[in-house]
């Protein structure tokens, strides 16, 4: 019965590594003048890891953590991007300017050494 425990341990380690990566990314944005609006916000389409404000603008951030940044980037799928767009649309409904709120979608890649690469407007235009 060791296999289920090892799988559970790996899952727990992955969760903790992901949470630590999100914390690092949040600090990175905050040092650049952004304020955090939400962490792990869940909408109808799924979860958005981090949402930041800069003035009236919003930045939706997907955080990916892996041994290398290339491996992290490879884990972003078209289906995932569509789910993030759907959830972001729902979030924007709560904003005073609604869907007209200035926003962008960034990806933050974090490697095993904790190095962060931010790809601004990573999803292009939805």
pLDDT at 125: 52
Q: CATH: 3.40.1350.10, 3.50.30.60, 3.30.420.590, 2.70.70.10. Which one for 2-119?
A: 3.40.1350.10
**31-73 pLDDT, tens per residue?**
999 999 999 999 988 999 999 999 999 999 999 999 999 999 9
> What is the biggest distance separating any 2 CA atoms in the chain, rounded to whole angstroms?
55
**90-111 pLDDT, tens per residue?**
999 999 999 999 999 999 999 9
The single residue listed with the structure tokens 């969760």 is 15
The residue ranges of every structural domain in the chain are 2-119
Residue 1 has pLDDT above 50, yes or no: no
Buried/exposed code over 12-32 (b: 16+ C-beta within 10 A; e: otherwise): eeeeeeeeebbebbbeebeee
pLDDT at 38: 97
């Amino acid at each position: 019965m060791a296999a289920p425990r090892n799988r559970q341990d790996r899952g727990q380690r992955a969760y903790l590594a992901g949470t630590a990566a999100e914390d690092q990314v949040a600090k990175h944005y905050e040092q650049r003048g952004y304020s955090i609006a939400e962490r792990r916000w869940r909408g109808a389409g799924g979860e958005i890891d981090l949402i930041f404000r800069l003035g009236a603008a919003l930045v939706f951030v997907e955080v990916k953590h892996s041994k290398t940044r290339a491996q992290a980037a490879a884990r972003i799928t078209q289906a995932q991007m569509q789910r993030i767009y759907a959830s972001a649309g729902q979030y924007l409904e709560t904003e005073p300017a609604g869907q007209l709120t200035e926003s962008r979608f960034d990806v933050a890649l974090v490697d095993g050494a904790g190095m962060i690469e931010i790809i601004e407007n990573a999803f292009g235009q939805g």
